[in-house]
Amino acid sequence: MALYLRKELESGAEISVWEVTESEEELLKIISIPNEELEELYLTKSGARRREKLAVRALLNTIFEDKVYLGHHDNGSPFIQNNSTHISITHTNRFVAIITHPTEDVGIDIESVKRDFSAVEKKALSPDEREDLSDKNRNLQLAIYWCAKEAIYKRMSQHGVDFARQMEIDKFNPKEEGEIDATFIFKDGMEENFGLQYEVFEDHVMVWLVG
């Protein structure tokens, strides 16, 4: 079993992280998986993608005492079919992370900071956000920007979101952990403000929001 982290937040949410050290075969031996997910798994050609799905199921089995059935909305966002708990899921090659809350919408994203995030500056940042970039820890700062916007995107669960125009992250200085303020701008011009938190560990950055 490779449960890396499990912590409760002051908001009432819980974050759980699984470090994917097992092979596909080893994961199949230690988990209980619903038939529907198993059939979907066999249709997945990518071995890495199958391993990710199995790690998600391993984490779900750890979080919930009773068996839960994972479904997906039309836009791809996950939900628990037989439980009202709100959920958001993210993964890299090394980690799978899940955030849950009994009643509030949630969003989470995790990325390896070893990835090159230079393309994010051009496609996902507003002119003001690009102006706020510093040369020091630039890739980490871009990674946090991207994870924050991905977490908001998952929380909003909307189609056709423009990351550069509809999400604005306030200026921040990247650290090992911290808080970020952000605004989501709806297409009709209405705005919603969010407070996000982030944490850097094992060459990865994880950002989440609740509510």
Residues 6+ apart with CB under 8 A from 183: 167, 168, 170, 191, 192, 193, 194
In the chain the domains, ranked by start, together with CATH numbers, are 3-103 (3.90.470.20), 110-210 (3.90.470.20)
pLDDT digits (tens, 9 = 90+) for 134-169: 888 999 999 999 999 999 999 998 888 999 999 999
pLDDT digits (tens, 9 = 90+) for 106-122: 999 999 999 999 999 99
**pLDDT category of residue 2 using cuts at 50, 70 and 90:** confident
